[in-house]
Every structure is written in C-alpha cells, then in structure tokens.
Amino acid sequence: MSSKKESHAVSRREFLAGAAAMVGAAACATPAAAFAVEEGAIGDWARDGSAQVAAPESRGSNASAPDGTYREHNAASFPANEATPIPPRAVPDEWDLECDVVVVGAGGGGLNAAARAAELGASVICLESMATWGGNAQSAGMCGILGGYSKQEEKRFAFPSYPFDPQALTDWAMDEYHYAADPKLIFRIAEQGGPSLDWMASCGVDWRLGEVPVYVAPKRSTLDHHVLKMKDATDAMFDYGQKRGVAFKFRCPAEALVQDASGRIVGVVAREDFQREIYIHAPRGVILTAGGFCNNKALLERYIPTAAMGCASSYLVGGETGECFRMGLGVGADVSGFNSSASFDGGVDWQAEGGQWARFLYDGMTQLSRQPWLTIDRCGNRLRYMDSRVAEDGANAIYALGDLATIQMTPPGHRSYIVFDANYEDHLSGFAQEHCRKLITPDLEQIDKVPEHYRDWHHGVQDAIDADVLKRRDSLEELERDLGLAEGVLTQAVAHWNECCERGVDDFMYPMPSEWLHPIVEPPFYGCRIGGNLYGTKAGLLINDQMQVVGTDGRVIPGLYAGWHTAGGACGENSYIGDPILGSLMGDVGLAFCGGYLCGTSVIEHEFDAGRSDADRSQGGE
C-alpha cells in the first residue's frame, strides 16, 4: 500500500482497537459505531446494545409459526432495525467543507461516481463509514453477460445475440421482467454497461488480474473464483479517484441530507470519526451510493417481504443498513422495485440459533450448504437441485445460483432442509460445482483476500457445528426432531433416497445424476436449515434513466442522484431473486460499477453543462 493511501485510511489494527470484531470474521472493516457490546457476543450489531438475545429453541424455529403465519426474525441478528425516513436538515449558517459534489459511499459504485465526476471537472468529496474503500465489492463477484464491452467484441459475443444491440437486449430483459421494469432504465444499463467497463479499464483496472472477471459465456468456461478478485478493481478505481483529486473521508458516515428552501439538495451532514458532526456544502449535487438495506430488518419486512421471509442470511458484512434509502425517503423520494431482491442459494439459518444474520460468503459452511445434498421441505417433499457445472453453456450455469435460491426460499415455512451423513467430505470433489459454490482451499489463488480463519473451509463448517447451526446427531430421529420436523418427515425421506441410491437411479421428477446419489447411512448424521442468501436489495429510491431521484409527486428532486443499490427498479417489481443474470444485466457488482459511472456522468451533464453547446462539451472531454 502506498503512503498516499495510508494518509487517507487508518490501519486495520488501529481501526479494530476501538471496535469489537464481527462474529464470522468479516471480509472488511466495519464502523466502530456499529458495535454495541463486547467482541463475540450475540447482538454485536444490536442497536440497543443487548448481549442477551431471546432465541427460540431450535426445534421450534421454522420460519413460519404452526398456523402458517410468518415468524419474525431475531432483531439482534441485524445491524439495524429502523424503517422511518431520515428528515433533511436546514441550510446551516456556516458550512464546514465545500465542494461541487458529495458522493456517499466508497464502494464499487461510489468510487466510480466520484472518479467520473472528478474526471469531468467537479471537485468531489467521497464519504465512507468504514475505514477503507471498496465496500462489499471487495468480497463480491461480477458478471457482465450483456455485450458492448471491448473484450466481448473480440470474442464476437453479445447477449441475446451477436452483434450487440441494446434495444434487443432491452426487449429480452423486459420480457424476462414481465414488463414490470422501466424500459428506459433497462436500455440505459444495456447501452452503457459495456462502455462503463471499458472506461474502468482506461482508468487503470486491469481485468486480466481477475482473468477477465467480466463473464463472456464461451463454451466450457468458468469464472474461477471471480469473487475474490474484485478488490483489484476497487483498488484501481480508488487510486484513479485520488489522482483526479477526489477527497476521501473514511470513518465518516453521512447522517442526513441538507435541503434548501426551494427543495434542492445542497449538501449532507456527516459524522467525522463517528464523533464530530460536520456540514458539507455540495451545491452541484449529492450522489447516494452506500448500498441498499440487506441488513435492516425493518426495511426488508416493509419493502421486500419475500426476502425478509425467505432469506436465511446475508453475505454483505460491510454494511447495507439502509441509511441512504431512508435519507431519500426523508426528502420525499418515491420507491421503485417493491419486493425485489437478489439471492444466491444456500443461505444458512444462523439467526435461528441466535447468531449473526450477515456472514462472509466463503465461510466454508455456506459453500457446503450449496452442494447437491438431499434437500426437502418441511413436509418431506424433495426439492430440485440446480446444477452449476458449466458443461456446455456457462450462462445457464450462472442462472442455477439464483433459480435454486427461489426453490429453497419459497416452500411452506420459507425454509429448506439439507441432510447428509458422516461420509460427506468424500463426495465433494465429485460434485464439481462451479462459480462461488467452489470450496475455498489454502492453495487457492489470491487466498489472502479471504479472512484467515476461513482459508480452510473446514473451519467455517466446524463453527457451524459448534453453534448447532449444522446439527450433528447420532440418529436420524434426533436430527429430525431438532430440525423442527414432524415425526417421520425426515426418516421417510431418507429411506426413499437410500432406495434410489441403491438402484443408482433417482425417481424424482428432477432426478439427481447417478454420480451424485450417495446413501445417508453412516452416523453421525448432519442437517441444516437453509433459505436464500441475500446479496442485493432491488427495491430502492425511484430514479429516472439519468440517475436522478424522483419524488412521490413524479418530479425530479433537484440535486439528488442515486446509484444501485440505493436506487431501485433495475429488475422491476416482485422479482424474488433478481433474475435475469443474478440481479441485473450485469450482476450486482457490475450494476454498482455501471450505476456509479452513470451518476458521475449525469451530475456533470445536468448540473454543470446546462447551456453549454455540444461543441463546448466535447472540448471539455465528454
């Protein structure tokens, strides 16, 4: 790390000295203000600071009560539990800092928004609550299955067909979204997604560091742990932003927007070092990019009830508590994308045992839960498994991740149950699952980007056993009882499964391949309650295709912009797992990158370039 970077961010050791470490070894530092109790206590993120959480007995903790009603999540498993709008502040008598544009959030979207606006001539301050840049993009993956990107052109690839046509892509996506999305917004993503990636390359992002993590779907291809390589992109964009003069302020969360008497957003209130309240004047615009609300129980239940019920965990350990969304609500913003989210399969139900809701994606137990085990619902019915082996078509393999999430989170009770026996480890190499279902091993390339504790996947699995999240029992009857299943539900399902294994042919409507038929006979027996693994909220502030936030009166709120995932509407209404292509046309990190680029471009066009001719604009570099 260069001395220039060190001047803008405290070291991890210094940062953690004043804060408890997150249960589950988070992939990146988390604000000291997020912790209220001692290290390792249940309720680390609880707003009330309680170290004692009233968790139900495991056997009674199905996601729905016996009468079929939804059983509420444990509030202490979430770092926030507040859905009320955050009202704006009035213009102060004196400002503490001045700039043209403030960007809230230094994740993938915020870094791009700040760098792009600065590149086009704005003075920019970028606020970040964590002690470093990158946000959740540091531990997340990226797919760009669309076309229009130069590397895809080299391979003569475009979706849905070559040559690339943003209108054809928009038509395809709108059909997939059942026409619930804004076609102008979808067209904007389709049209600018590829150019945004090429722009990042021009800024210094070497996609080859990730072996081109922008997925181009050649036959028999693989993304190969692309989720561990996105930190290279965020590091490059941070460096580029600094070179362009962006002033980064870490450990400085935004608290409220500042709105003048005309209704224009002219700045933000932030809390420097979580202590001193400062007013930052940004008369040209405020860009909200600090993410959605995956870790805010109250917001999920109000705006994405399917995710609140069906998702068993979140892997966004670096925030996503919804303050930007609530600030937008406070100035009258409308909401778009109701009940839409993006999830992977295999969300492990830690919170049912009083554990943390947010977990690092590669914690070992999560990958283990995503393998092709016998899976049933609470009635004992078999549930289909979606194969992610690349085989002939990589794009379909990616679909499997989201499709299986829907299967697992929508049965009665909103939970599924996996079961296997003592020989489970012998089967893993034969499953050969791809993408982020691969198991982490110590010899993995870029293993340093995984929290040290999880560099051997066994450690995460043992953590789950110790917490009784992965239940290890000497008999199937005990396992059945302690998973909360009725007598005979599990034992009968296992008996039938074993018969299929003995014959070597699965008689289920969606059969497992014969090489995956492994009998469950050797004690101890293992079982786990799973649902969706939430990684992106798609409900957010309503924006137009210029990334301007729109109020409930249908008019643009002057001076306010939002990137995904603070903004909504990228996949319309009631999209349970955010298909197509796992959350958007670009995957979630790609969507954030693209949204930041669009925000930075639009704020210049609308707040700086009014009245300039096309010739003047082109001479200015745009």
Q: Per-residue pLDDT tens for 296-340?
A: 989 999 999 999 999 999 988 878 899 999 999 999 999 999 999
The confidence score (pLDDT) of residue 440 equals 80
Asked whether residue 252 falls in the same domain as residue 321, the answer is yes
Kindly tell me if the per-residue pLDDT of 525 is higher than 70: yes
Asked whether residue 416 falls in the same domain as residue 513, the answer is yes
Asked whether residue 255 falls in the same domain as residue 351, the answer is no
Asked whether residue 510 falls in the same domain as residue 554, the answer is no
The confidence score (pLDDT) of residue 319 equals 81
Kindly tell me if the per-residue pLDDT of 348 is higher than 90: yes
Tell me the residue range of the domain where 490 lies.
346-534
In a domain, 11, yes or no: no
How many CB atoms are located within 10 Å of the residue 299 CB?
27
In a domain, 409, yes or no: yes
Q: Which residue has the higher pLDDT, 514 or 156?
A: 514
In a domain, 31, yes or no: no
Asked whether residue 228 falls in the same domain as residue 163, the answer is yes
Asked whether residue 488 falls in the same domain as residue 425, the answer is yes
In a domain, 561, yes or no: yes
DSSP letter for 551, please. Answer: B
Residue 345 backbone dihedrals phi, psi, to 5 degrees: -75, 170
Asked whether residue 357 falls in the same domain as residue 326, the answer is no
Kindly tell me if the per-residue pLDDT of 58 is higher than 90: no
Asked whether residue 309 falls in the same domain as residue 453, the answer is no
Kindly tell me if the per-residue pLDDT of 33 is higher than 50: no
The confidence score (pLDDT) of residue 402 equals 85
Of 3-7, 112-116, 260-264, the least confident: 3-7
Q: How far is it, in rounded angstroms, from Cα 367 to Cα 401?
A: 12
Kindly tell me if the per-residue pLDDT of 7 is higher than 50: no
Q: Which residue has the higher pLDDT, 580 or 247?
A: 247
Q: What angle do CA 330, 334, 335 make, to 5 degrees?
A: 105
**Could you say which of 501, 518, 534 is where a domain stops?**
534
Asked whether residue 277 falls in the same domain as residue 181, the answer is yes
Asked whether residue 292 falls in the same domain as residue 417, the answer is no
**pLDDT tier for residue 382 given thresholds of 50, 70 and 90:** very high
In a domain, 313, yes or no: yes
Kindly tell me if the per-residue pLDDT of 211 is higher than 60: no
**Beta carbons of 122 and 284 less than 8 angstroms apart:** yes
In a domain, 69, yes or no: no
Look over the chain and give the mean of its residue pLDDT values, rounded to a whole number. Answer: 82
Q: What angle do CA 191, 197, 200 make, to 5 degrees?
A: 135
Average pLDDT of span 236-246: 96
**pLDDT tier for residue 11 given thresholds of 50, 70 and 90:** very low
In a domain, 50, yes or no: no
Instruction: Tokens 């495991």: give the residue.
Output: 58
Number of domains, the chain:
2
CATH code, domain carrying 227: 3.50.50.60
The confidence score (pLDDT) of residue 140 equals 67
260 exposed, middle or buried (CB, 10 Å; 0-12, 13-18, 19+)? middle
Q: What is the pLDDT of residues 447-497, one digit of tens each?
A: 777 888 888 899 999 999 999 999 999 999 999 999 999 999 999 999 999
Q: Which residue has the higher pLDDT, 537 or 611?
A: 537
Q: How far is it, in rounded angstroms, from Cα 541 to Cα 555?
A: 13
**Could you say which of 490, 516, 534 is where a domain stops?**
534
The confidence score (pLDDT) of residue 583 equals 53
Q: How far is it, in rounded angstroms, from Cα 593 to Cα 193?
A: 9
**Could you say which of 534, 554, 570 is where a domain stops?**
534
Output helix, strand, coil percentages for the chain, rounded to the nearest 5. Answer: 35, 15, 50
Q: What is the pLDDT of residues 86-120, one digit of tens each?
A: 999 999 999 999 999 999 999 999 999 999 999 99
The confidence score (pLDDT) of residue 246 equals 98
pTM of the model: 0.87
The confidence score (pLDDT) of residue 478 equals 97
In a domain, 618, yes or no: no
Asked whether residue 255 falls in the same domain as residue 193, the answer is yes
The confidence score (pLDDT) of residue 223 equals 37
CATH code, domain carrying 503: 3.90.700.10
Kindly tell me if the per-residue pLDDT of 255 is higher than 80: yes
Asked whether residue 299 falls in the same domain as residue 171, the answer is yes
Task: Return the axis-axis angle of helices 166-176 and 183-202, rounded to nearest 10°.
Answer: 130
**Beta carbons of 358 and 315 less than 8 angstroms apart:** yes
